[in-house]
């Protein structure tokens, strides 16, 4: 794999958050960003994300999710 260096500008608060998140997750900041970009590349447009596929079995098949969604949002802007 060929590596390249890149400089980006971020607000200090975002950089601090990213560094802390990476540290707490056991990754370097570079590894965290690399994993995120790899995840973005793996999802094609219109594909259901893995996270959604994982929880999809929780809702019984007889439930009409679209009807439930609209029923809960009727009258709300």
**Is the confidence at residue 1, as pLDDT, over 60?**
yes
Of 18-27, 42-51, 61-70, highest mean pLDDT: 18-27
Range of the domain at 68: 12-73
Q: Is residue 1 domain-resident?
A: no
**Is the confidence at residue 62, as pLDDT, over 60?**
yes
Q: Is residue 29 domain-resident?
A: yes
Query: What is residue 68's predicted lDDT score, i.e. its pLDDT?
Result: 77
Query: What is residue 41's predicted lDDT score, i.e. its pLDDT?
Result: 77
Q: Is residue 18 domain-resident?
A: yes
pTM passes above 0.85: no
Q: Is residue 3 domain-resident?
A: no
For 53, half-sphere exposure in the C-beta direction (CA atoms, 13 angstrom radius) is: 5
Note the pLDDT tens digit of each residue in 33-45.
998 888 777 776 6
């Amino acid at each position: 794999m060929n590596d390249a260096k890149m400089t980006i500008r971020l607000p200090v608060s975002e950089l601090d958050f990213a560094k802390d998140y990476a540290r707490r997750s056991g990754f370097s900041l570079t590894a965290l960003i690399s994993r995120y970009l790899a995840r973005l590349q793996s999802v094609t447009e219109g594909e259901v994300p893995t996270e959604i596929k994982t929880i999809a079995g929780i809702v019984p098949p007889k439930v009409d999710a679209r009807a439930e969604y609209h029923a809960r949002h009727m009258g709300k802007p």
